[in-house]
């Protein structure tokens, strides 16, 4: 592996922890650290604490995978109250390049790069090479993504599929849904397939059994379930895995995912052998007329510890290659120099292009206008202020 001219900062920001690493050569992650989000006022505070521990050449390029949809320049986390401007954060950190992507988009980009020892197959047939891949995983929320083969590369799907509506499959799940509707107007799969979701399932099943409710956190529910020391906890984990099987099957038939369905996140990879014995795979294949279709699709648990780092690094490397291949870097520098002289509407265009240069530098004017929430004439004025007719 050839070392980079300067190390690259890679981050994985979830609702509970912010994980950081320096990538010193392709796929080599060093000086890793995990910080609790609750102990830092905002993302800048957390990354500053990490950077202060480093010595040597500071990073010039960075990629952040974050548990949030990323559209435009402003990032507002769904499951934690952090928000920031991508361009302003790049400036504050003194970076040449800052790429911010959805965490499951990053994880999806890692999937073709996983070795057999970094994944565990749970049922199904063989992977069809160069076929669509599906991904979902439960943690603080429920992430959903996929990969579409394109030429010799892949296109990652940025989705919010975790917010699709939950549909129960049996009487137990109907009881869980009724309980959840007492807490939420809309019950998505994420309301159940997450740490808080496992806790909700446990409360619902305790109520169904006529037991006094216990305020157990998800890790304790999981511990008791795996130890077979608490019948309600075991039933809650069984129900969780069955519902995950439903969500995974829905994703598989939606995408035609003959490249496999991968399970990541912070919960399932910690379940060990239990997950293979759980109701997950039986529920995955229980799809009526499409049961045979699903039996052929393999499902995998991701066991690689740094998979999100790998995917974020791949996205950053792709963007840097694209910028180096053309005059993208020069255009971005020109945009940054022009910022003080732009109108507020033109500044929105600039923020969008700086936040998403990989796509925006090649997008049609109409697409950029929609993304920046401005008129097409505004985009044209912005382009002409840079001495060109379009982006």
Cβ atoms within 10 A of the Cβ of 142, count? Answer: 26
Which residues neighbour 307 within 8 Å (Cβ) at sequence distance 6 or greater?
107, 110, 111, 114, 118, 264
Structural class in CATH, domain 122-303: alpha beta
Q: How far apart are CA 110 and CA 311, in angstroms?
A: 4
Band (80; pLDDT cuts 50, 70, 90):
confident
Answer yes or no: is pLDDT of 382 > 90.
Answer: no
| pLDDT per residue as tens digits for the range 30-67 | 999 999 999 999 999 999 999 999 988 899 999 999 98
The DSSP element (H or E) to which 224 belongs, if any, is helix 218-226
Q: How far apart are CA 303 and CA 116, in angstroms?
A: 10
322-345 exposure pattern, b = at least 16 Cβ within 10 A, e = fewer: bbeeeebeebbeebeebeeebeeb
Domain definitions of the chain by residue range:
1-114, 122-303, 326-391
CATH, range 326-391: 1.10.10.10
Estimate the crossing angle of helix 86-93 against helix 43-52, to 10 degrees: 20
Q: How far is CA 283 from CA 146, 249, 252, 288, in A?
A: 21, 8, 13, 11
Band (251; pLDDT cuts 50, 70, 90):
very high
Considering the segment(s) 1-114 as one domain, its CATH architecture is 2-Layer Sandwich (3.30)
């Amino acid at each position: 592996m050839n070392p980079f001219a300067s190390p690259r900062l890679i981050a994985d920001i979830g609702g509970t922890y912010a994980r950081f690493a320096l990538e010193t050569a392709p796929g080599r992650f060093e000086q890793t650290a995990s910080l609790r989000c609750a102990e830092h006022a905002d993302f800048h505070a957390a990354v500053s604490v990490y950077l202060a521990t480093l010595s040597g050449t500071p990073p010039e390029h960075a990629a952040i995978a974050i548990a949030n949809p990323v559209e435009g320049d402003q990032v507002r986390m769904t499951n934690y109250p952090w928000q920031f401007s991508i361009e302003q954060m790049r400036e504050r950190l003194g970076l040449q390049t800052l790429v911010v992507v959805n965490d499951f988009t990053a994880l999806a980009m890692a999937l073709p790069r996983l070795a057999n020892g970094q994944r565990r197959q749970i049922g199904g047939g063989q992977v069809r090479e160069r076929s669509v891949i599906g991904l979902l995983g439960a943690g603080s929320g429920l992430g959903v993504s996929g990969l579409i083969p394109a030429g010799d590369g892949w296109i990652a799907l940025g989705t919010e599929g975790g917010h699709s509506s939950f549909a129960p499959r049996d009487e137990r799940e109907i009881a869980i849904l009724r309980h959840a509707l007492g807490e939420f107007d809309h019950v998505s799969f994420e309301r159940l397939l997450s740490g808080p979701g496992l806790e909700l399932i446990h409360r619902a099943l305790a109520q169904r059994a006529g037991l006094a409710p216990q305020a157990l956190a998800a890790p304790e529910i999981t511990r008791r379930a795996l130890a077979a020391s608490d019948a309600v906890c075991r039933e809650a984990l069984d129900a969780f895995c069955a519902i995950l099987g439903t969500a995974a099957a829905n994703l598989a038939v939606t995408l035609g995912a003959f490249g496999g369905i991968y399970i990541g996140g912070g919960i399932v990879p910690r379940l060990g052998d239990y997950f293979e014995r759980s109701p997950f795979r039986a529920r995955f294949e229980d799809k009526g007329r499409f049961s045979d279709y699903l039996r052929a699709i393999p499902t995998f648990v991701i066991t690689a510890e740094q998979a999100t780092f790998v995917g974020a690094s791949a996205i950053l490397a792709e963007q840097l290659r694209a910028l180096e291949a053309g005059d993208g870097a020069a255009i971005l520098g020109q945009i940054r120099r022009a910022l003080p002289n732009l109108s507020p509407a033109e500044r929105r265009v600039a923020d969008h292009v700086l936040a998403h240069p990989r796509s925006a530098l090649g997008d049609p004017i109409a697409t950029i206008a929609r993304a920046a929430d401005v008129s097409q004439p505004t985009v044209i004025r912005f382009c002409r202020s840079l001495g060109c007719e379009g982006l």
